[in-house]
């Protein structure tokens, strides 16, 4: 609490149209101002005003960045799925091994096996996020180490045909 001389404090209060409340008792020529009560009152008012504003700000930020977060999460789920079906296909196809350069026929067989595995085991929403089964085939094609003469026309297209999918 602060102490002021009574005359200037009363003159200041009266000059701006404020009357000193009864709680401001004059004691020996000094007025005791309850600064703590004023600070608590101000903090309560500020909290009542700022809480809805902060909630609105947080909600706006979540709404703004939720699509980006959804994209990042779905991309990581798709990439993990492509990695798993590719690894499965590399183990399932004769003549294929992880880290080995694959020939065109073996590469096509690996892609077809990976697409079939995705069709059988992967939830539909993940397949859709990957661009469907043709999208998975393209991702597996890009992921494989293929010989130099391998192209989408001679490797990916036969794999899509073997999986029963039309080339895009």
pLDDT digits (tens, 9 = 90+) for 27-57: 566 777 778 888 988 999 999 999 999 999 9
What pLDDT is stored for residue 21 in this prediction?
52
Q: How far is CA 23 from CA 26, 32, 56, 57, 153, in A?
A: 9, 9, 39, 40, 91
What gap in Å lies between CA 2 and CA 89, rounded to an integer? 81
pTM exceeds 0.85, yes or no: no
Share of the chain above pLDDT 90, in %: 47
Q: How far is CA 149 from CA 33, 48, 110, in A?
A: 89, 70, 16
What gap in Å lies between CA 151 and CA 141, rounded to an integer? 9
Give yes or no for residue 3 having a pLDDT over 70. no
**Domain boundaries of the chain, sorted by first residue:** 2-33, 71-162
Share of the chain above pLDDT 70, in %: 81
φ, ψ for residue 33, nearest 5 deg: -95, 130
What pLDDT is stored for residue 18 in this prediction?
44
Question: How many Cβ atoms sit within 10 Å of the Cβ of residue 59?
Answer: 10
Dig out the tokens for 32 from the structure. 């005791």
For residue range 102-156, list pLDDT tens digits in order.
Answer: 999 999 999 999 999 999 999 998 999 999 999 999 999 999 999 999 889 998 8
Q: Report which of residues 39 and 2 the model is more confident about.
A: 39
Backbone CA torsion sign across 77, 81, 87, 90: negative
């Amino acid at each position: 609490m602060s102490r002021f001389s009574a005359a200037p404090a009363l003159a200041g209060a009266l000059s701006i149209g404020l009357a000193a409340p009864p709680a401001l008792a004059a004691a020996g020529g000094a007025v005791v101002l309850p600064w703590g009560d004023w600070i608590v009152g101000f903090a309560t008012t500020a909290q009542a005003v700022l809480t809805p504003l902060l909630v609105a700000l947080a909600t706006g930020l979540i709404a703004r960045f939720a699509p980006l977060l959804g994209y990042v999460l779905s991309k990581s789920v798709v990439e993990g799925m492509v990695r798993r079906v590719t690894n499965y296909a590399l183990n399932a196809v004769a003549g294929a091994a992880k880290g080995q350069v694959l020939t065109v026929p073996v590469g096509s067989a690996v892609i077809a096996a990976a697409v079939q595995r995705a069709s059988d085991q992967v939830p539909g929403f993940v397949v859709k996020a990957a661009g469907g089964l043709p999208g998975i085939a393209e991702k597996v094609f890009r992921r494989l180490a293929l010989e130099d003469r391998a192209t989408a026309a001679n490797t990916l297209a036969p794999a899509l045909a073997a999986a029963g999918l039309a080339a895009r």
